Amino acid sequence: MVLHIKNMVCERCIMTIRPQLENLGYKVKRIVLGQAEIAPDPDTEQLLKIAGALKALGFDLLDKEADKTVEAVRNVVIELVHHTDLSDRKVSFPELLTARLEKDYNQLSRLFSNLQGITIEKFIIQQKVEKIKELLEYGELNLNEIAFRMGYSSSAHLSAQFKSITGMSPSRFKVSDTDGRKPIDKI
């Protein structure tokens, strides 16, 4: 059985969920962001136990198809923004989402907006801004290098988008003593 799990956003999430499922007596055949394939198939009571164990760790078990699709969109965006170099991207986010999820982008966009209350595009921008904050805090790259790595046409475009979301410029964010970063799963 494939479990669909909300809030899996990184490798540490996978490393947290695998032992939890194994401790509950399941063999984990495959685990990726948003999904865990287990054996044997749990019954309804066992699914409730799994859901409770995951909930205690900050994860949710998804059962509705619409929720699974929205979580799949979130996972693809998070993977692309936080775990890849966007300067190498040759196709647009809509094309990538359509290819990866094998669904019409307009359908994905409507569903996402209805369930999340924001568009996919705004979600992508929010994720990019959080990644930019992380890169600014590390201080290893200058703004031009960050803009290139994040797939922006220029540092001016990055700065304008960053300011529209955070209310401050990237340079002001870098010197501020406020912790302006948000956990990925809370965006």
Domain encompassing residue 172: 125-186
Is 70 found in the same domain as 50? no
Total number of domains constituting the chain: 3
Is 117 found in the same domain as 81? yes
Is 51 found in the same domain as 83? no
Query: What CATH number has the domain bearing residue 182?
Result: 1.10.10.60
Domain end among 30, 63, 96: 63
The conformation of residue 41, written as its DSSP 8-state character, comes to: P
DSSP H or E segment with residue 30: strand 27-32
Q: How many CB atoms lie within 10 A of CB 124?
A: 18
Tokens 């010197």 -> residue: 175
Query: What CATH number has the domain bearing residue 21?
Result: 3.30.70.100
Q: Could you tell me the two tokens for 33?
A: 């962001």
Domain end among 104, 122, 140: 122
Residues 6 or more apart in contact with residue 33 via CB below 8 angstroms: 8, 9, 10, 13, 14, 75, 78, 79
pLDDT in tens, the chain (187 residues): 999 999 888 889 999 999 999 999 999 999 998 899 999 999 989 999 999 999 999 999 998 999 999 999 999 999 999 988 888 777 889 999 999 999 999 999 999 999 999 999 999 999 999 999 999 988 899 999 999 999 998 999 999 999 999 999 999 988 886 667 666 666 6
Is 72 found in the same domain as 51? no
Is 57 found in the same domain as 30? yes
Using alpha carbons only, give the angle 61, 66, 68 rounded to the nearest 5 degrees: 40
Is 142 found in the same domain as 105? no
- CA distances in angstroms from 1 to 34, 37, 39, 42, 49, listed in the order given: 14, 5, 6, 8, 15
Residues 63-115: pLDDT tens digits?
899 999 999 999 999 999 998 888 877 788 999 999 999 999 999 999 999 99
Is 109 found in the same domain as 150? no
Domain end among 47, 63, 79: 63
Is 168 found in the same domain as 153? yes
Is 91 found in the same domain as 52? no
Is 182 found in the same domain as 129? yes
Is 148 found in the same domain as 98? no
Read off the pTM: 0.77
